Amino acid sequence: MKSIIAGPDFTPRTLTFGEVKCFSYNKDLKSEIAGKVLTKEDAIFMFRQMVNIRAFEEMIIRLRSGELVPYEGYKFSGATHLSIGQEAVPAGAMAALKGDDYITSSHRGHGHGIAKESYALRDMDKKGLQDFVGAVKFKSTKKDLLEQAIDVHLYRTMTEFMGKEDGYCRGRGGGMHIADFNVGHLGANAIVGGSLPMATGAGMSSMFQDDGKVTVCFFGDGASNNGVFCESLNMACMGQFADKGVPVIFLLENNQFGMTGRTRNEITGLDFLARRGWAYNDKGMHAEVVNGMDALAVRDAVSRAAEKCRNGQGPALLEVMTYRYMGHSLSDQNLYRQQEEIEMWRCEDAIERMKVELVKAGLDPTEPEEIEKQIYKDMEEITIAAAKSDFPDPSTLMEGLYSNSTTETVPAEYKTTDYNKEFVKDYRDGKGCMPYRRAVQEALTEEMIRDKRVVVYGEDVAEHGGAFAATAGLFETFGRKRVFNAPISEVAICGSAVGMAMTGMRPVIELMYIDFILMSMDQLGNQAAKNKYMFGGKAKMPLVCRTTIGGGKGYAGQHSQSLEAAATMIPGLKVVAPSTPGDVKGLLKTAIRDDNAVIFIEHQLLYGDRGEVPAGDYTIPFGKAAIRREGSDVTIVSYSYMANEAIKAADLLAADGISAEVIDLRSLIPMDTETVLKSVQKTNYGVVACQACTTNSFGEHIAYEIQNKAFDYLDAPVELVGAPDIPPPMAPTLEAAFMPNAAKIAARVKTMLGK
């Protein structure tokens, strides 16, 4: 950041760190009601959600053990990560939030989902509740509309756990992947720590949109020892966001164990993990340790943290100390702890504590018991109804993977009005040509003007303009609110983009080299690619990850690879690899408008290439290849930089009387198989050229498609020209031998044709 000057200062000093308050809540329900912080009805509702959570999970135990058999022939299936003992955490936290605030959850997330939706339903108007109740065939016998809605909610949660069509995610996600975007539940996550950067992104989205929402990220003590924890908290605390603050509460639900590893005195060297808040900003992230067996204490802490976030003082870190009575899953025999310890924690049971508080506040002692008894009865009926409901029809298997929508029309409120027009320049020469890198920059500029939800960030993309100067000028045009540097933290960059995309923004992120994509594959492969399908086809994922492939510059094994197949193998990602300046502009604009995650691959050796780029707004559709050169003797299929080498190979072959047709795929997923097959059917020969190592490359997939669908037309097996199966070497002599090129393509064609 040029605005900061940091000169040398070697003055001797001692750094000190601030306090972390532990268990400071000293009130009770009676005093909270007297102080009008809560009503008696609020407290009863909170208690009901705690019991709902426990009753729900105890039904799972009964189902798995065979004690409850909903119908003859029933077979139990699914993961069983229970949170029995931890009910005060979600119930207390949701009591402190607004109905439209966001949450992210973990694999142990039944309680988070049950409490989140219940409180959101409580905030709904009559029409919203009626629509919710009428969305499924299941009917509650309750008279009160809210109680009916909560019964339907519990039914939909249980049906999702069982993999049924009526589930929140249509059975695609199951118990570890429940979400409802309609109420801000951005999803439970089976990857430990997987939701942390997404929560950061959701908070960033609220900060940029100034929508007043807070995101609460539920994660466990095990996740706090994952690198993604450090990367996410660091990103949320970046100094460039300090003026407004990222409104996210990182709620560390410390149930004492990762899986079987004990957090304290075994796998960490800390008594309280909240100490780590002081590593990320000079406010210590307002870190606090909270009694997680007391729902009132949790509600109080989350309420205060949420207020700070809404006032621009976020983010916050809360460590909530709780305990899971059951194992990591029901297959866990608890060999790593003593029964005595479990019983000690049961003496602090959150539900029993809340019963006592309710009676002290004036409730008849029998009323909490009656509430509990009725909830268990209702839950059994709901569970049996869920078990008898329909599984998804196998014919719907492919539904929900991609969004079919784009932003061809941008609402007026999203049009950009605040930008520096002086920096918007036309870099075309007298022939209408410009460099590839300038075409990238022009596409980004036009889309950012068109839609202010588009933001650009990544490593060194601001004042520096990116490693290849493809974002040069954007910072000066749009300022730090729209273009900003991220830490060298691929997981946080990609994960935050997922969170932003799910909450109304359209981020364009940059990873300098595709080699670095391996650092981020959890977020791109397990989150960006899967969240729409896994959450029942509801999520939109309008994010673009720009990155580069290819060697030829002596950058060796970790900056020169062509790893596009790492992205093409994952369903849910679209993958684009343009070869010309005109295509890179049109395809990038298409990518930004698409409501799916797009891996947009540029090539290091193409940035300086000049080519014709039409002026003004235009897009190029995905899945439509370009025939760069027509021919009759052989078909050469390629993409990115190698498409240009294929054209050169066609020139070499023409000198020997061989007519080669060159097809530039442009987009890999979706792939224009039809154009390729028509060409091969005409020429009867197919050659595929890619810069990747041949084994398991995308080139192999292209060859398979030709061999599989045009076999009867082939006069010889399909040939694949690629790099040898070694990391790219640095030495010029070795790199030249490693790199496929026009001469190697032409030689392979001649061998194939026997010439």
| DSSP codes of every residue in 640-654 | THHHHHHHHHHHHHH
CA–CA gap between residue 601 and residue 587 (Å, rounded): 11
Q: Tokens 């008279």 belong to which residue? A: 143
In DSSP notation, 660-673 reads EEEEE--EEES--H
Rounded to an integer, what distance in angstroms lies between the CA atom of residue 162 and that of residue 171?
7
CB atoms closer than 10 angstroms to residue 333: 8
**Which amino acid is located at 321 in the chain?**
M
β-bridge pairing 634-638 and 660-664: parallel
The conformation of residue 517, written as its DSSP 8-state character, comes to G
Cα-based distances in Å from 153 to 172, 335, 551: 17, 35, 53
d(CA 474, CA 685): 46
- Pull the structure tokens for residue 698: 């995308």
Q: In the chain, how many H helices and how many E strands?
A: 24, 20
Rounded distance between C-alpha atoms, residue 320 and residue 90, angstroms: 11
E strand spans, 439-578: 454-458, 483-485, 506-510, 544-549, 574-576
In sequence order, what are the beta bridge partners of 599?
545, 575
Rg (CA), the chain: 29
The conformation of residue 257, written as its DSSP 8-state character, comes to B
> Contact, 112 vs 103, CB < 8 A?
yes
Contact 560, 425 (CB under 8 A): no
Give me the phi and psi of 135, to 5 degrees please: -75, -20
For the chain, how are helix, strand and coil distributed in percent, rounded to 5? 45, 15, 45
Are the beta carbons of 484 and 240 closer than 8 angstroms?
yes
d(CA 640, CA 646) in angstroms, rounded, equals 10
Buried b (16+ CB within 10 A) or exposed e, 305-326: bbebbbeebbbbbbbbbbbbbb
The CA–CA distances, whole Å, from 407 to 26, 291, 531, 575 equal 51, 46, 20, 19
CB-CB contact of 214 with 309 (8 Å): yes
Cα separation, 174 vs 158, whole angstroms: 9
Pairing of strands 626-629, 660-664: antiparallel
Q: Which residues pair with 86 in a beta bridge?
A: none
How many of the other CB atoms lie within 10 Å of CB of 724?
Answer: 13
Residue 140, CB-side half-sphere exposure with 13 Å CA sphere: 25
Question: DSSP secondary-structure letter at 120?
Answer: H
Is there a catalytic annotation at residue 112?
A: no
- Long-range pairs, 705-712, Cβ under 8 A, ≥24: 705/671, 705/673, 705/676, 705/677, 706/637, 706/676, 706/677, 706/680, 709/673, 709/677, 710/677, 710/680, 710/681, 710/686
Q: Side chain identity at 373, as an amino acid letter?
A: K
- The DSSP code for 528 is I
One of 286, 559, 603, 701 is an active-site residue; which one? 559
Q: Which of 615, 605, 498, 569 is nearest to 196 (CA)?
A: 498
564 is written with which tokens?
A: 């596009």
Q: Are 662 and 627 in contact (CB under 8 A)?
A: yes
Q: Are 499 and 200 in contact (CB under 8 A)?
A: yes
Catalytic residues: 559
